[in-house]
Amino acid sequence: MGLKDKEPQTVEIKGNVLKCHVCGNGYFWNRKAQLNTAAMSFLNLDWANKSAICFICSECTYIHWFLG
Ligand SMILES: [Zn+2]
């Protein structure tokens, strides 16, 4: 999948260690993503910035999205 170019890292959100919602793993790859503006409008999220951060679980590859 081309994701294994970096070592996965632990992630802290607001003082809490992020654990994968699916498998409970604590290591993630970090990606910045450009969001589709049309999709954002459709979801009524125009207030959000056009970029988001996603953390991809190194075990099951579930993607955890954060805006801004
Ligand atoms: Zn996982």
Cβ neighbours of residue 9 under 8 Å, at least 6 residues apart? 27, 28, 29, 30
Distance (angstroms) between ligand 1 centre and the Cα of 10 equals 13
At residue 6 the predicted structure's pLDDT band, cuts being 50, 70 and 90, is confident
* Closest alpha carbon to 32 in 7, 13, 48, 52: 52
Q: Domain 12-67 classified CATH 2.20.25?
A: yes
Q: What is the pLDDT of residues 11-40, one digit of tens each?
A: 999 999 999 999 999 999 998 877 666 665
Q: What is the pLDDT of residues 39-66, one digit of tens each?
A: 656 666 665 556 788 999 999 999 998 8
Domain extents in the chain: 12-67
Distance (angstroms) between ligand 1 centre and the Cα of 44 equals 29
Distance (angstroms) between ligand 1 centre and the Cα of 66 equals 16
* Closest alpha carbon to 68 in 17, 13, 26, 16: 13
